[in-house]
């Protein structure tokens, strides 16, 4: 099979408006959560991304029906589902398949599944998820490439997370909704996606309180219904377009944004000199400014999102002076810097940090999206570069960005998909 690539002819200014899709990192938890219901669950605002297709495929294995009413509106019916072993390869395609651990354990008291996959950002252990399941009364073993998690009875417990992990918080919440008694998660993660999952669970009839703070309380219930839920906008996609607008546009309006969710980014960009109007559900960016260098350190929400440091780095190559980015969540999340260097960027990568010396001219090159947000960073660099950029391994980008090339074409970008030139040996 020929490899698909994205080609960008750089240098075009982007103008107009773009609408942000539903949040990937909420959606990838909301879809596994539907197995907890005993009736149909309707989700709207579902982004058109590969992770949704993979999770729908996993639901198919569990005999949960998935009906697409339109592009963003899906109905899931778990009424006739079966708790089969999840040992198919599709489970390893994405990280979020681990949410089936909490959801199936919560509903059936048993789950057997392969190790989840996802972007390589350095080691990504799931020890806190496992500890949480054990605290609720489950036994966890890893045998022949699969986790087997089983509990005679799940009982609420007081759980302290050593790290405020997004995945562990959501997974424990899902495992605890049917548990007997009260579960308290201390040092819970506070990301907006967690509130969205708790909202869905409560619409089903769960008793989850405190999502969005660092203490979440779950009182177990006996039954959960189907429900209707609209997914929150994707704050990382929104942030990616804001960064793009800051360096590649004269005026761009980003619609369907909750500005509070990207406040840390907006404040940093303001500090750098980007002019913006912040509305209730939109951000207008005036991109033609001379920017100052900034220092950014990623932190759990509401701190600066690790997922946005990679797109931001592409912008920093155009800033006058030396900017610094430290990632305290994923110390190895700097592979995009090597790719940006191929395009002419001057970046020194250190231990968990990088220093971007700007401004440097970028030149179109053949580069590789080593992970999802690296892909976004390279798209921005491609828009800025002189000549043509060819991005390989675009499946990483398609896992998490809904129609990124179509949205950019509508803004005036010269971006298209094609087949990679065969390598002549
Ligand atoms: N961690 C542990 N043990 C655990 C779980 C996490 O040590 O059991 C560590 C991680 O290694 C990391 C830190 O805790 O250093 C935070 O990880 P977290 O669990 O919060 O991350 P995640 O749930 O695996 C989600 C997003 C990521 C995003 C991070 C941080 C999903 C599916 N993924 O991952 O999104 O970077 O939170 O905000 O929600 C992306 O969208 O590109 C992406 C990678």
DSSP line for 194-210: HHHHHHHHHHHT-EEE-
Nearest CA residue ID for atom 14, ligand 1: 165
Ligand 1 contact via 234 beta carbon (within 6 Å): no
Q: What is the pLDDT of residue 381?
A: 98
Query: Atom 36 (ligand 1): residue with closest C-alpha?
Result: 307
Q: Is 330 in the pocket of ligand 1 (CB under 6 A)?
A: yes
Report the distance separating Cα 147 and Cα 114, nearest Å: 6
Rounded Cα gap, residues 75 and 44, in angstroms: 9
Phi, psi for 296 (deg, rounded to 5): -130, 135
When pLDDT is averaged across residues 245-257 and rounded to a whole number, the result is: 97
What strand order describes the sheet that includes 158-160?
158-160, 182-186, 215-219, 207-209
Lowest mean pLDDT among 61-65, 288-292, 364-368: 288-292
Q: Name the average pLDDT for the chain.
A: 96
Which residue's alpha carbon is nearest to atom 5 within ligand 1? Answer: 126
* Average of per-residue pLDDT across 257-281: 98
Q: What is the pLDDT of residue 144?
A: 87
Please tell me the distance between residue 200's alpha carbon and the centre of ligand 1 in angstroms. 21
**Is a pLDDT exceeding 80 seen at residue 330?**
yes
Query: What percent of the residues of the chain are helix, what percent strand, and what percent coil, each to the nearest 5?
Result: 35, 30, 35
* Nearest by Cα to 229 from 422, 376, 57, 34: 34
pLDDT of 253 strictly over 70: yes
Kindly tell me if the per-residue pLDDT of 123 is higher than 90: no
- Catalytic residue positions, numbered: 119
The residues near 144 (Cβ < 8 Å, ≥ 6 apart) are none
Task: Please tell me the predicted confidence (pLDDT) of residue 115.
Answer: 83
Instruction: Evaluate: CB of 399 within 6 angstroms of ligand 1.
Output: no
Average pLDDT over residues 196-219: 98
- Between the CA of 125 and the centroid of ligand 1 the distance, in Å, is 9
pLDDT tens for 38-73 read: 999 999 999 999 999 999 999 999 999 999 999 999
Average confidence (pLDDT) over 360-382: 97
Tell me: pLDDT of 256 over 60.
Answer: yes
Query: What are the DSSP calls for 342-375, one per residue?
Result: HTT-EEEE-SSEEEEEE----B--EEE--SHHHH
Per cent of the chain over pLDDT 70 is: 98
Position 424 scores a pLDDT of 57
Q: What sign results for the dihedral spanned by CA atoms 167, 168, 173, 175?
A: positive
In the prediction, which pLDDT does 125 show? 87
Q: Measure Cα distances from 37 to 51, 174, 200 in Å.
A: 21, 11, 10
Phi-psi region of 68 (alpha: psi -120 to 50; beta: other; left: phi over 0): beta
Ligand 1, atom nearest to 130 Cα: 8
């Amino acid at each position: 099979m020929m490899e698909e690539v994205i080609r960008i002819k750089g240098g075009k200014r982007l103008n107009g408006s773009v609408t942000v899709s539903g949040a990937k990192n909420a959606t990838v938890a909301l879809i596994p959560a539907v197995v907890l219901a005993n009736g149909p669950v309707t989700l709207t605002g579902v982004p058109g991304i590969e992770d949704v297709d993979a999770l729908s495929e996993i639901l198919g294995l569990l005999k949960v029906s998935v009906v697409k009413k339109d592009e963003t509106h899906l109905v899931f019916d778990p009424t006739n589902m079966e708790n089969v072993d999840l040992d198919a390869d599709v489970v390893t395609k994405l990280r979020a398949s681990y949410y089936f651990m909490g959801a199936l354990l919560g509903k059936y008291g048993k789950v057997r599944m392969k190790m989840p996959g996802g972007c390589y950002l350095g080691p990504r252990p799931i020890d806190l998820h496992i500890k949480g399941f054990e605290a609720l009364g489950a036994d966890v073993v890893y045998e022949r490439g699969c986790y087997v998690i089983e509990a005679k009875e799940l009982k609420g417990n007081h759980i302290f997370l050593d790290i405020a992990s997004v995945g562990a918080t959501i997974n424990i919440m899902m495992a605890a909704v049917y548990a007997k008694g009260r579960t308290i998660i201390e040092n819970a993660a506070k990301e907006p996606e967690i509130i969205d999952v708790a909202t869905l669970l409560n619409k089903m009839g769960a008793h989850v309180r405190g999502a969005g703070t660092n203490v979440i309380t779950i009182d177990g219930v006996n039954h959960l219904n189907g429900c209707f839920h609209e997914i929150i906008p994707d704050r990382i996609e929104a942030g990616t377009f804001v960064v793009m607008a800051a360096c590649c546009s004269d005026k761009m309006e980003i619609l369907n944004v909750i500005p509070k969710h990207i406040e840390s980014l907006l404040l940093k960009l303001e500090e750098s000199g980007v002019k913006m109007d912040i509305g209730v559900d939109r951000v207008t960016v005036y991109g033609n400014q001379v920017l100052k260098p900034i220092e950014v350190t990623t932190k759990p929400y509401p701190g600066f999102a690790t997922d946005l440091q990679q797109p931001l780095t592409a912008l920093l190559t155009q800033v006058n002076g030396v900017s610094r980015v430290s990632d305290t969540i994923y110390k190895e999340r700097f592979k995009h810097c090597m790719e940006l260097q191929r395009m002419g960027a001057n970046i020194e990568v250190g231990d968990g940090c990088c220093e971007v010396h700007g401004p440097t001219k970028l030149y179109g090159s053949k580069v590789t999206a080593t992970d999802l947000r690296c892909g976004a960073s390279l798209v921005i660099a491609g828009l800025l570069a002189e000549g043509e950029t060819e991005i390989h391994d675009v499946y990483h980008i398609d896992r998490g960005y809904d129609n990124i090339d179509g949205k950019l074409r509508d803004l005036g970008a010269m971006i298209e998909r094609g087949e990679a030139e065969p390598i002549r040996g």
